[in-house]
Amino acid sequence: MPEIEEVLKQGLLPLIEEEGLELVELDLLGKAPRYILRIFVDKVGGVNVEECAALSRKISDYLDTEDLIKGSYTLEVSSPGLERPLLNLDDFRRKVGEKVRVNLKSPVDEKEEIKGEIVEVRENEIVVALEDSAVTIPWDKIDKGRIII
């Protein structure tokens, strides 16, 4: 299904961006004749239920017109949730100002895990404020991060 997922992403991305949202993840699950199209969107400050519902209607209209999914499908549009992993720089960028736990592939400042507030996301690194200092973490050393609630 990777081919159809890419076609769906290309078609749906402009609709998502028109709503001021970012596509976090798109999964087409199941098999013919019954699929589940699961779309996660986000933006700085988070996404609310009304925004997800409006986008769902827009995507549904588009899919019904374009007939990209052969067979029936269930469409699920939601935010990725507070506790989902932060897997790429855009995920971290959306969460600037939030407290995070970052698991590292290799130690930074002799630490394998860093907890603090994301203060900046640069091209290939993030900056996390600790209680009394800040640490710059190169992207290639980050395994994953998670928002601390």
Q: What sign does the dihedral 136-144-91-10 (CA atoms) show?
A: positive
Q: According to DSSP H, which parts of the chain are helical?
A: 2-18, 49-66, 89-94
Question: Tell me, what's the pLDDT at 141?
Answer: 95
Question: Tell me, what's the pLDDT at 148?
Answer: 86
Q: Is CATH 3.30.1360.170 correct for 2-78?
A: no
Q: How far apart are CA 92 and CA 36, in angstroms?
A: 28
Q: What sign does the dihedral 58-67-17-51 (CA atoms) show?
A: positive
Find the radius of gyration of the CA atoms of the chain: 18
Question: Tell me, what's the pLDDT at 58?
Answer: 97
Question: Tell me, what's the pLDDT at 1?
Answer: 53
Is the whole model's pTM more than 0.85, yes or no?
A: no
Question: Tell me, what's the pLDDT at 86?
Answer: 87
Question: Tell me, what's the pLDDT at 3?
Answer: 87
Domain residue ranges in the chain: 2-78, 85-147
Question: Tell me, what's the pLDDT at 2?
Answer: 64
Query: What does 78-89 look like in DSSP terms, one character per residue?
Result: E---TTSEE-SH
| DSSP 8-class letter at 98 | S
Query: 18: how many CB neighbours lie within 10 A of its CB?
Result: 10
Question: Tell me, what's the pLDDT at 136?
Answer: 96
Task: Please give the backbone phi and psi of residue 90, each rounded to the nearest 5 degrees, phi first.
Answer: -65, -40
pLDDT tens, N- to C-terminus, the chain (149 residues): 568 889 999 999 999 999 999 898 898 998 877 899 999 998 877 889 999 999 999 999 999 999 888 888 999 999 887 767 788 898 898 889 999 999 999 998 889 999 999 999 999 999 999 999 999 999 999 988 988 87
For the 85-147 domain, the top CATH level (class) is mainly beta
